[in-house]
Amino acid sequence: MELQCKVQNYEWGKQGLNSKVANLLASADPSVTIEPDKHYAELWMGTHSNGPSLIIERGVLLSEYIQNNHDAIGPEVKKKFGIQVPFLLKVLSIEKALSIQAHPSKEHAEQLHQSCPERYTDSNHKPELSIALTPFEALCGFRLLPQIQSYLSKLPELTEILPQDAVNAILAHEEQGNSNKVLKQVVQGLMLCDKTAIANSLKSLVTRLENEDPETQSTLLYPLIRRLHQDYPGDLGCFAPYFMNYMQLRPGQAIFLKSNLPHAYISGDCVECMACSDNVVRAGLTPKPIDIETLIEMLDYSSYAQEQLLFNPHMEDVNCCIWRPPVPDFAIVKIRVESDGDPYNTIIRASPSLILIISGSGEVCDTLPITAKPGVVVFLKASRQLTITPSPGDHIEAYQAICNV
């Protein structure tokens, strides 16, 4: 069943046809007018109440259809999650950085929802998997300690606003010891620092780096810091790249954002799948409400090398690979079929599927054929199979979100 899906126009999104979201929207429905100055940030596929998908042929919401057709979910998913699609599939098109943040664990989410339901509106966790569609920038996880020490030794503008005992402790710390405690001290010092002091420090740093030689500018991440400071002047999140890994993903590379892992997307386009939740704890690079005290206590202060944060798929057959995160809520399959072979029948899953055509042309069919082109989204019932047939001389590439059961 083909779906009509919801677009979110957040101000950090790419504008007009610069946005992958806008391109997919216009391709799937030529009657849609793309406004060149409008921000097309996210395409939502699923049953989330803030952006529910509609079954085009039937004129009913997917969430309503599922309530009346339990076979669409399948017994395994029904037993684990009830009558629902427990994941949300998205495409993001990011022009401006969004939120230094982390997501609570399931147990912590339940506590936050109980104590502060107006801010934490559900009791679910929100693990996420993001796969780059274009060159994609993100901050993810804390850096290895020697890298943080090196930055702090070269940034008096930063160290002078931090608690001196915390700076001394982290600079003196030996790598073989557990660095979580000293890292927490210095990060807490930054997050609780006086806003005016942070703004003045950033202004001094950007002014100094502006006049440094190109090698020093590159070493101290000046191009990135300048962009963040232009978009969020005086924000403590502008210092985050000195503590967090600066990831530059190539198309097809992915990161998995487990509970409590600090992260922020900076730019690019990606496919993202997550558990159905709005639970986000923010600290900077955002106009939205922040909750610094909660974030300080929940963060994963482990240090990660960048290669540890890349999340790799494994091949299921010659046409598809799958990213299986360590959660039952979701997994993502990438399918690519060339026209020089036979039509491809997807692997039968015990889960319902949301399938997004990302490129190519042709036809997809369960019982009724649907024209396949970029932006077309299909809902496939549990234990059913989709036949994918590319147009002559073309291909079809798609992302399929499923439950990881």
3-state percent helix, strand, coil for the chain, nearest multiple of 5: 30, 30, 40
Asked whether the beta carbons of 254 and 313 are under 8 A apart, the reply is: yes
Strand partners of residue 281: 102
| 3-state class (DSSP) for residue 223 | helix
CA–CA separation, 369 and 371 (whole Å): 7
Any idea which residues carry the catalytic annotation? 282
Element (H, E) at 405: none
| Burial class, 261, CB count within 10 angstroms (exposed 0-12 / middle 13-18 / buried 19+) | buried
Buried b (16+ CB within 10 A) or exposed e, 126-165: bbbbbbbbeebbbbbbbbbbeebbbbbeebebbbebbbee
CA–CA separation, 340 and 318 (whole Å): 14
CA–CA separation, 381 and 377 (whole Å): 13
Signed CA dihedral, 17, 18, 19, 23: sign only: positive
Phi-psi region of 281 (alpha: psi -120 to 50; beta: other; left: phi over 0): beta
Round the CA-based radius of gyration of the chain to a whole number and report it.
Answer: 23
CA–CA separation, 150 and 297 (whole Å): 25
Element (H, E) at 224: helix 222-231
Contacts of residue 97, defined as CB under 8 A and 6 or more positions apart, other chains included, come to: 12, 227, 228, 231, 232, 237, 264, 265, 266, 267, 285
